[in-house]
Amino acid sequence: MAHAFFLGVDVSPADGDGAPDVTHALFEKSKEDSDEPATYRLNRIRDHADVASADDLADHVQGLVADQPYIGRTSLIVNRGADFGAALVGALEDRGMDPVAATLTSGGGAVAGDPDEIGVHLGGGDVLRRFVNLHRDGRLRLENHATEAASRLARDVQALSERLDEIDGDMEALGETQTDGLSFDPAATHITSAALAVWLGSERSFDPSQRLKTSPQTDAGA
C-alpha cells in the first residue's frame, strides 16, 4: 500500500497584541492499489495557543516531521496570508524544509506562485469545496480521535457537507450546472489547515520530493 503524509498549517491574524490562532493538521494519503482513488486519514490535529514566535512553531514542526513514520514522507503547506504565516514559511525554509506557501483568495481556481518559490494562489471557497466533496465521497477519514480539535473538525465538515447538499440541490432545481460554492471563513483555522493538507496531497504523488504541478487544480483530485 502506498502512503505519504501532508501537513497543513493555518494562521488567523492576531487581535491587537494577542497571539495569532494557529492550527496544524496532518493527514495520511493512502492507496490500496493503483486502480482505487486515494483516501485521506486524519493523523493528528492541534490548536496552538499563545505561540511565542514563528521560530518556536517551526522548531515544533521540524521535530514532528523528523519522527517516525513521518520522516522523509511528509510535505508541508502553510497559509502565509497573515504576517505570522509568512514568517513561519521563512522560518521553515531556514531549517531546510520546503513548505508550499499558499495565498488564499476570495476568487476561484488555482495559480502557481512566483517561479523562484514553492507557492500557489488558491481560491479559498474552491479548496473548501474540494475538501468537503472528498468527505461526501467517503474518501476522508476523521474518526477515532478524542481531541476537541478533531471532534470540532468532524462536526464542522459534516455541517459543511449538509450545506453543500443544499447549495447543489438549489442550483439543480434552478437548472444551473455550477455554483460558487461554500463561504470561506478565514478564522476557521481547523478547517483551513485540514483542507490545505488534503489539497496538497491531491496535487502530489506519493513521492515527497515531487514539486507542485505547473497548473494546480481545485476540483476533485487524486
Nearest to 143 by CA among 29, 43, 2: 43
Cα–Cα–Cα angle for 41, 192, 114, nearest 5°? 105
Whether 218 is covered by a domain: the verdict is no
| Cell numbers 498549517: residue | 9
Whether 214 is covered by a domain: the verdict is no
Residue 24 carries which DSSP code? Answer: E
Whether 25 is covered by a domain: the verdict is yes
pLDDT band at 1 (very low <50, low <70, confident <90, very high): low
- Range from 15-19, 63-67, 205-209 carrying the lowest mean pLDDT: 205-209
Nearest to 129 by CA among 100, 168, 155: 168
Neighbours of 206 (CB within 10 A): 16
As a whole number, mean pLDDT of residues 128-152 equals 91
Task: State the sign of the Cα–Cα–Cα–Cα dihedral 25, 48, 151, 71.
Answer: positive
Domain containing residue 171: CATH number: 3.30.420
pLDDT band at 173 (very low <50, low <70, confident <90, very high): very low
Pair 8, 190: CB distance under 8 Å: no
Whether 201 is covered by a domain: the verdict is yes
Check whether 196 has a pLDDT greater than 50: yes
- What is the C-alpha to C-alpha distance for residues 120 and 150, in angstroms, rounded to an integer? 27
Instruction: Name which residue leads in pLDDT, 104 or 169.
Output: 104
Q: How many domains does the chain have?
A: 1
Pair 48, 24: CB distance under 8 Å: yes
What pLDDT shows up at residue 68?
82
Neighbours of 122 (CB within 10 A): 26
pLDDT band at 21 (very low <50, low <70, confident <90, very high): confident
pLDDT, tens digit, 9 for 90 and up, residues 61-85 = 999 999 888 888 899 999 998 889 9
Domain range enclosing 8? 1-205
Neighbours of 90 (CB within 10 A): 16
- Range from 88-97, 160-169, 191-200, 213-222 carrying the lowest mean pLDDT: 213-222
Whether 217 is covered by a domain: the verdict is no
Whether 215 is covered by a domain: the verdict is no
- What is the C-alpha to C-alpha distance for residues 42 and 143, in angstroms, rounded to an integer? 8
Instruction: Name which residue leads in pLDDT, 177 or 96.
Output: 96
pLDDT, tens digit, 9 for 90 and up, residues 84-139 = 999 999 999 999 999 999 999 875 555 554 544 578 999 888 899 899 999 999 99
- What is the C-alpha to C-alpha distance for residues 13 and 82, in angstroms, rounded to an integer? 6
Pair 153, 194: CB distance under 8 Å: yes
Q: What is the dihedral of CA 57, 58, 61, 67, to 10 degrees?
A: -130
- What is the C-alpha to C-alpha distance for residues 90 and 96, in angstroms, rounded to an integer? 10
Residue 29 in grid coordinates: 494519503
Whether 178 is covered by a domain: the verdict is yes
Check whether 220 has a pLDDT greater than 70: no
What pLDDT shows up at residue 28?
95
Check whether 41 has a pLDDT greater than 50: yes
Task: State the sign of the Cα–Cα–Cα–Cα dihedral 64, 65, 69, 75.
Answer: positive
Whether 80 is covered by a domain: the verdict is yes
Q: What percent of the chain has pLDDT over 70?
A: 77
